[in-house]
Structures are given as C-alpha cells and as structure tokens.
Amino acid sequence: MSEFTGLGADLGMSTGTIPAVASPQTPKLPPREWVRANLFSSPFNSVLTVVSSLIILAITRGLLSFIFNPQRQWDATATNLRLLMTQAYPEEQYLRIWVSVAVILTLTGLSLAVWRAGSAVSIANVGRRLLSFGCTLALFALLAPFSARATIIWLLIAVAVAGGGGTLRRLADSERTISTLALVLIGLSGLVGSLWVVPYGNHTFELHRTPRVIAEPGTVALSTKFPWTIMLLIAVAAYFLGTYLRDRGSLNATRTTLALLWLLMPPVLLYLVLRDPDFDMGHVFGTDIPIFLACAVLGGALLNWLARPSTGEIGRIVAALVLIAAFATFLTPMRMIVRLDLLMLAAFALAAPTFSGGPRARRNYVIGWLGLLGVMSWLVTAVNTPSTIEVPGQFFLGGLSLTLMVAIFTIVISFPLGLALALARTSNMPIFRLLATWFIEFVRGVPMITILIFFSIMVPLFLPPGMHLSEVAAVIIGYSLFSAAYLAENVRGGLQSVTRGQHEAAEAVGMTTSQKTMFIVLPQALRVSIPPLVGHCIGVFKETSLLAIIGLFDVLYIARNVMPNQTEFMGSTKENILFVSLIYWLFCYQMSKASQRLEQRTGLGER
C-alpha cells in the first residue's frame, strides 16, 4: 500500500478507498471444534483453561456474594446519591443542574448526528451478543447468594434474554443491520423506563423530620425519574435536529459552530448557569460594558489597519509598542481587565501580518478579536461576581460534579498548552527549546500533591493586592500545568515518529514552517499519540481524587470519609467505595472506547 500522507490520507479515508479492501475470511468453526482448537489444544492449555476458569468463578462468586449480602448497607449509597453527585448544591436550585445536563445532552445529540457517529452491526451479531449475555446472567444468578425465589426470577430473565438473542440470531438474515446508535437508544430507554417500573426503592432524606432517612419500597422518587425521561427525549430530539442540520445546512459551518459551542460550554455552564452570578447591573453598565466597547472599537480599528498588506514594517513597530504598553500597565495600579485586554490586543497585533489580506480577511480577523474579547470580558465579569448559591464549604460544587468539572477544565486547558510545549521542545529555536525542556523536566520531577498544595496555599500569597483567586481556580491552573508537561511528552513521542522525509517533502513543495506543522506533521503525530493521550486523560480524571488533600470534597472523599461518618450509615465504606469505583469505571471505560473508535476512524495500527 502506498504511503499516503496528512491530508491525502484523510481524503483517502473519507472517500472510502481503504475499507474497500476486503479482509481475509477467518474460518468459522462449530462450537465444539472451536473449544477444542482454542481451549483444550494441549495438556498445558487444558490445565490453564480449567485453573483460570475456576479463579474467575471464585472471584465472581465472591463479588456477587458481597454485593447481594443482606448485611450490605446499599441504603447509604441510595440515600446519599445527591451528596455524591453535587454535595451541598441546594435542592431548590436543582433546575440549574438539569439545564446543564440538558445542554450537554443536546450538544452530544447534535454532534452524534453531524459527525455521523455510530456504525451498522448485523442483527444476527446482536442476537449472538444477547445470547452470550443471557448465559452470563444465568451463571451469575446461580452463583449469587439469592433466595430460591429471586434465583428463579433471575434465571427466567436470563433465559428470556438468551432465548430472544438465539431467535434473533437464527431468524434474522445476515444482511439486515441496525445502527449502534439505535442500540444505545434502546438500552437507555430501557434503563430510563425501568425507573418507572422496577421497584428500586424510594430513598429520601429530610433534615427536619424524624427519622431523617426513609427507605420505602416502590419505584424511585418522581424527582429522579421525571427529569431523566425529559433528558432522554431532549437527547433524541437533538439528534434528529442534528440530522436535519447535517442534510440541509452547510456541513462545515455546522461543525465549526458545534466545536466552538463545545469549547464555550464548560465556562458558560459553570459561571452562568450553575453558579447563578448575582450581577451588579450598575457596575456592569457603568464599568464593564464601557471598557469592553472602548477596547472593541479602538482595538478593532487598530487591527483593521494592521492587517492591511500595505501597512508594512511600521505595523510591526506599533504592535511591539502595544506589547510594551500592555506590560507597562502592570507597573501601575489599574483594573485587571484593562491589562488583560491590552495583552490580548498585543497578541492579536503581533499576529496581524500573518492574517493580512483583503477586506474579507480583515473583517474575519476583527470579528475573531471581537468574539474573543467579548468572551473574555464576560468571563472576567462573571468570575468576579459573587454567587447566589449558598452552600457550606469553600466551593459550591462537590462530589462527582466537582470531579468532572476539574477533569474537563484541566484536559481542555492542558491540551493546547501541552501541544505548544511539545512543539517548543522540538523546535529549532534554542530559547523556546530550553524553556520548554526546563519547564517539562521541572514539573515532571515534582509530585502532583506538591503542586496542588503549592497552588492552593502559596499562589494566593503571591498575587497582587486586591486580586483574589479562588482555591478551585488556583488548583485547576496548577493541575493544568502539571498535566500539560506530561501531555507534551506524549505528543513529542508522536512528533518523533514523523520521518524526516515528511518534513523534507513538505519543505520541497514550498510550505512555510507553520503550514508544515499544521498540515503535515501534527496530523500524523497526533494520530500516533492517540493511545497515550487518552491514557493521559483517563489518568487526569482519576487523579482528581487527590483534591481531597487540599480540603475539596470530591466524590471519593465523600464516599470514604463523609458518608461512613453519618449516624445512620456508620461502617458503609466498602459499599460506597464499590459504588464510586463503578462510577469511575463507567467514565474511564467510555473514554477508552472513544479512543478505540477514534483509532479505527483514523486507521491507526492498520497501515
């Protein structure tokens, strides 16, 4: 197969030339022969098969008898779900949480449709999966320490599942396929529907009542099942809206908009929806908006002039002066927002010659400036506005939402940072290379706990007077720097896998360094580094549990230290930890699956 490169490879992929190559047929064996060929092919293999099956059975049995032991306090987990998810977020404000979930699901649905996620699987294959699932379920039902009645019920369910799978496998012809998305939808509908039917138990907690903890038989509370049903409907509606947009509108514009929305979503949800900032309108109209307008008009005019191709060298000098002025503002007392605006203007001014061109290019450049300025001004205003959410503790979120928030922000911030560090470390410019190397080696040589403690305790002391950084923000900055250093090394591994010939070929066709990096080197390097990058993201997600050390209540800390110290639920640590590990596993497994799909789409490991 010829060596496709960069864009060429992508084009080849999307037109479907590569999947057209037929894969060799693997011979299909009847079950008995398959078992003989794979499990009992030699005496050693037979012993291995028997011993490892016994070990797996013993472990499964132990786990099941732990989970279904009547002594287990699953009430603790069921009653404390709210604490585990959001800690002390007030119940009367829960609508904000549901709005956030709905926004995320809408974006997910739209993206699934616009990027044509999902693939077709044959129904016969689904039937086979169901059959094996039913058999596993039956095995579990026999192994678990159920009462006779429960065992029979579970066995019946297992037989029904397996039987359904078997019939599907036999009846459906091998050509009929179903989309994986439809399968996911069926599964989720079943899950949400079961909330209305299956008696999981109604666990409530009310502070001003004795007893405070009540576990009643029946289905879950209405405040759980109703919102989730709405959420499922929203996701489905968003998907169909997405297919409409994909087929009618301009695909590229839709994709760009969606990508921007995804980037904007975390701060918007956090600072506008969840935090419910108490905007001081007088201040907003009297100070914030005038500053924004002044910067927007003056900066826009300046950039428009700078991006004119006829401006020439004098433009660079002006840009350098703007940069000096921006640094000079730090020497005199001044509003932080003005300093930040000037710094950003300097960056835009310095980059202006790269984007210079006709009226259209200039207009786009100025729009980019206005958009970024608007987002930053709004963000600074929102961050500085006090929240109306009253909670005990330092931060208004805790539990899983804090874990997710820190993980998402850290991953999103550290990705471009790590990329820049990796490029700097491999660049030809000695200053960049040295600085990046020093930074990476220093950060990688220091334990993460040290960095967390440094950023939560020391950094606020170094800030200029009058500037306040909340502990969570400080920790996210520190964690992002830490994560960026590791990410940079992963990306550097990818960069080194791009052969010299690629660089030379790109230079031979007259690409500039930035074009070469953007279109030739990075696409190939990032493709190679997908597995370590996703591994790194999984690590970032799990290591958020270290936040407990600096007094933030993440989900693991609540499960291990808070819930077992409630009068009603003393001694529930084991159950809580098992539940939390299930949560961690769900998220990490999804990330891992996403990485595998991405690898398949980019053809990693096949060529």
Partner 1 sequence: MKSKYWKLLAVFLSIGIVAAACGSDDGGGSSTTTAAQTTTTAEATTTTEVEVVQSGSLLDTVQSRGTLNCGVSGSAVAFSETQADGSITGFDADYCRAVAAAMTGSADNVSFTALTASERFTAVQTGDVDVLMRNTTWTQSRDSSVGMDFGPTTYFDGQQLMARVGDGFSADSTVADLDGAVVCTNIGTTTEKNIAEAAEMAGAEITLLGFETSDEVYETFINGGCDITTTDGSALVGRKVRMQPDDQEWVIFPATPISKEPLGPTYGQNDSAFADAVNWTVYATIIADEYGITSANVDDHVGDEGEVGRLLGGDGELQTGMGLAADAFYQVIKQVGNYSEIYNRNLNPVGLVREGSANAGWLDGGLIYSPPAR
Does the protein bind partner 1 through residue 88 (CB under 8 A)? Answer: yes
How far apart CA 196 and CA 186 sit, in angstroms, is 16
| Shortest distance in whole angstroms from residue 83 CB to partner 1 | 5
Does the protein bind partner 1 through residue 564 (CB under 8 A)? Answer: yes
Structure tokens at 129: 């999966």
Report the Cα–Cα distance between both ends of the chain, in Å, rounded: 8
| Shortest distance in whole angstroms from residue 573 CB to partner 1 | 4
Q: Which stretch binds partner 1 (CB under 8 A): 105-113, 324-332, 351-359, 530-538?
A: 324-332
Does the protein bind partner 1 through residue 435 (CB under 8 A)? Answer: no
When the beta carbons of 78 and 522 are compared against partner 1, the nearer one is 78
Site for partner 1 in 144-173 (CB under 8 A): none
Does the protein bind partner 1 through residue 562 (CB under 8 A)? Answer: yes
When the beta carbons of 396 and 409 are compared against partner 1, the nearer one is 396
Does the protein bind partner 1 through residue 393 (CB under 8 A)? Answer: yes
| Shortest distance in whole angstroms from residue 389 CB to partner 1 | 11
| Shortest distance in whole angstroms from residue 317 CB to partner 1 | 6
Q: At what angle do helices 471-497 and 430-444 cross, to 10 degrees?
A: 120
| Shortest distance in whole angstroms from residue 86 CB to partner 1 | 8
Does the protein bind partner 1 through residue 328 (CB under 8 A)? Answer: yes
When the beta carbons of 42 and 332 are compared against partner 1, the nearer one is 332
Interface residue with partner 1 among 246, 503, 560, 601 (CB under 8 A) is 560
Measured CA distances, 278 to 275, 284, 286, 382 (Å):
9, 11, 16, 9
How far apart CA 517 and CA 33 sit, in angstroms, is 53
Does the protein bind partner 1 through residue 62 (CB under 8 A)? Answer: no
Cβ-based burial of 246 (10 A; exposed 0-12, middle 13-18, buried ≥19) = middle
Does the protein bind partner 1 through residue 207 (CB under 8 A)? Answer: yes
Interface residue with partner 1 among 109, 134, 300, 398 (CB under 8 A) is 398
How far apart CA 219 and CA 196 sit, in angstroms, is 6
Q: Which amino acid is at 136?
A: T
Given a contact cutoff of 8 angstroms between Cβ atoms, the answer to whether 254 and 245 are in contact is yes
> 119, 6, 16, 4: which is closest to 526 by C-alpha?
6
**Parallel, antiparallel, or unpaired: how do β-strands 120-122 and 202-205 relate?**
unpaired
How far apart CA 480 and CA 6 sit, in angstroms, is 29
Core vs surface per residue 411-428: b (16+ CB within 10 A) or e = bebbbebbbebbbbbbee
**Across the chain, how many H-helices and E-strands are there?**
27, 4
Q: Which amino acid is at 531?
A: P
| Shortest distance in whole angstroms from residue 271 CB to partner 1 | 21
Given a contact cutoff of 8 angstroms between Cβ atoms, the answer to whether 485 and 439 are in contact is yes
| Shortest distance in whole angstroms from residue 375 CB to partner 1 | 30
Does the protein bind partner 1 through residue 317 (CB under 8 A)? Answer: yes
Q: How many CB atoms lie within 10 A of CB 189?
A: 13
How far apart CA 141 and CA 555 sit, in angstroms, is 31
When the beta carbons of 88 and 534 are compared against partner 1, the nearer one is 88
When the beta carbons of 89 and 239 are compared against partner 1, the nearer one is 89
Torsion angle (degrees, nearest 10) of CA 198, 201, 206, 211: 160
| Shortest distance in whole angstroms from residue 69 CB to partner 1 | 13
Does the protein bind partner 1 through residue 92 (CB under 8 A)? Answer: no
Interface residue with partner 1 among 19, 430, 465, 510 (CB under 8 A) is 465
Structure tokens at 586: 């769900």
Task: With CB under 8 A as the rule, give the number of residues binding partner 1.
Answer: 45
Q: Which stretch binds partner 1 (CB under 8 A): 261-269, 325-333, 377-385, 415-423?
A: 325-333
Does the protein bind partner 1 through residue 315 (CB under 8 A)? Answer: no
Helix segments in 427-499, DSSP class H:
430-444, 448-453, 459-462, 471-497
Residue with tokens 């009058």: 466
Interface residue with partner 1 among 561, 581, 590, 600 (CB under 8 A) is 561
Interface residue with partner 1 among 205, 262, 378, 587 (CB under 8 A) is 205
When the beta carbons of 406 and 506 are compared against partner 1, the nearer one is 406
> 500, 480, 89, 85: which is closest to 276 by C-alpha?
89
Q: Which stretch binds partner 1 (CB under 8 A): 30-38, 163-171, 271-279, 323-331?
A: 323-331
Q: How many CB atoms lie within 10 A of CB 525?
A: 24
Structure tokens at 421: 């560090």
Q: What long-range pairs does 151-155 form, CB within 8 A, spacing at least 24?
A: none
Does the protein bind partner 1 through residue 332 (CB under 8 A)? Answer: yes
When the beta carbons of 380 and 563 are compared against partner 1, the nearer one is 563
Interface residue with partner 1 among 324, 367, 463, 586 (CB under 8 A) is 324
When the beta carbons of 49 and 545 are compared against partner 1, the nearer one is 545
Q: Which stretch binds partner 1 (CB under 8 A): 42-50, 85-93, 271-279, 501-509?
A: 85-93
Does the protein bind partner 1 through residue 213 (CB under 8 A)? Answer: yes
Interface residue with partner 1 among 122, 394, 437, 592 (CB under 8 A) is 394
How far apart CA 289 and CA 381 sit, in angstroms, is 10
Q: What is the DSSP string of 345-395?
A: HHHHHHHGGGG--SHHHHHHHHHHHHHHHHHHHHHHHHHHSPB----SSSS
When the beta carbons of 350 and 505 are compared against partner 1, the nearer one is 350
Does the protein bind partner 1 through residue 571 (CB under 8 A)? Answer: yes
Q: Which stretch binds partner 1 (CB under 8 A): 98-106, 139-147, 148-156, 313-321?
A: 313-321
Q: Which stretch binds partner 1 (CB under 8 A): 79-87, 404-412, 525-533, 539-547?
A: 79-87
Q: Which stretch binds partner 1 (CB under 8 A): 31-39, 218-226, 250-258, 329-337?
A: 329-337
Q: Which stretch binds partner 1 (CB under 8 A): 89-97, 113-121, 163-171, 497-505?
A: 89-97
Q: Where do contacts with partner 1 occur on this chain (CB under 8 A)?
A: 79-80, 82-83, 86-91, 205, 207, 212-213, 313, 317, 320-321, 324, 328, 331-333, 390-394, 398, 465, 551, 553, 558, 560-562, 564-567, 570-574
